[in-house]
Amino acid sequence: MQFQVIKAGAARQKTACAVVGVFEDGTLGDAGRRADRAAGGALSRILKRGDFAGRSAETFPVVGLRRGPAERVLLVGLGKRSGFGRKPYRRAVYAATQWLAKTGVSNAVSWLAADGVPGIDARYAARHAVESVSNALYRIPDLKTAKKPPLPKLARFGIVVPDADAAEAERGVKDGRGIAAGSARMRDLANLPANVCTPRYLADAAKALAKEHKSIKVQVLDEREIKRLGMGSFLSVTHGSEEPPRLIVFEYSGGAKGEAPVALVGKGITFDTGGISLKQPPGMDEMKFDMSGAASVFGTMKALATLAAPVNVVGIVPSRATS
């Protein structure tokens, strides 16, 4: 997925879809009015007819435009003007991306932050846009052998910001990319079934992450090494399982040498025998998420390395199968 910061004064390039915000009173902001003029007044005519109310996160596509650089415009509700801020903005971006993901649109430009967003700066607005788009496009790892559903075609997303805020918005895009990469890694692991995401699978995933990023070092301790450390309680719960435990230790070095690290510990419990069936049937399928603490450590390490964050972090993942 490619993200691009676009200065409002230079936002004239062609796009498959322009995303424009509408307030609940049926009015457009300055950026929306510029988009309306480029579209020959098509947006204001729709609003005057009362076809779109502008309630928060509502969407209304406008197609068949004869003027302007956009092939189509997606109107997105921003809610009441007096209440517009971080949360309504993020909901609007997410709603727009969900609509875009269901279409054949391969590129889009968002004007939702072109006038600024009250309560947040351009860096935060750009970061939120990248996170929201990435979250909306995320798909759970598909292990089925049958024909898989088509993936969203959206590949490029432009974020229009005031000209003076472009540099800060670029920093926000970088932040958003790192956070989104970490979030996706965490969700990928957490969503895998327990018979796939075993302690040994997590150990291999940790080693793979270290190969991706030179700033991450990984040490994996096997059952014999864990026993040598005197971790009897940890080992006792694995006796009924054929899957051996693993203790995974991450070291991310981005801060000053010798600087005390932040420590993270994430529980990596997986299931391979009867333990899961002790739970109530309606929630049994969700027990695979008991290793989400471990997945969060993986995701954090991925985000830190992607961002080249200036901090030292140690992550510890005790992973074992429960019986």
Residue among 46, 45, 21, 17 at smallest CA distance from 32: 21
Q: Which fold, 2-191?
A: Leucine Aminopeptidase, subunit E; domain 1 (3.40.220)
pTM: 0.87
Q: Which two tokens stand for residue 156?
A: 């490029």
- Can you give the residue ranges of every domain in the chain? 2-191, 199-322
What are the Cα distances from residue 232, in Å, to 150, 238, 273?
Answer: 48, 10, 21
pLDDT at residue 285 in the model: 65
Asked whether 241 and 272 are in contact (CB, 8 A), the reply is: yes
What is the average per-residue pLDDT within 179-188? 96
Asked whether 30 and 11 are in contact (CB, 8 A), the reply is: no
pLDDT digits (tens, 9 = 90+) for 251-285: 999 999 999 999 999 998 877 555 555 666 666 66
Asked whether 266 and 316 are in contact (CB, 8 A), the reply is: yes
Q: How far is CA 175 from the centre of its chain?
A: 11
Query: Looking at the domain that runs over 199-322, which CATH code has it been given?
Result: 3.40.630.10
pLDDT at residue 270 in the model: 79
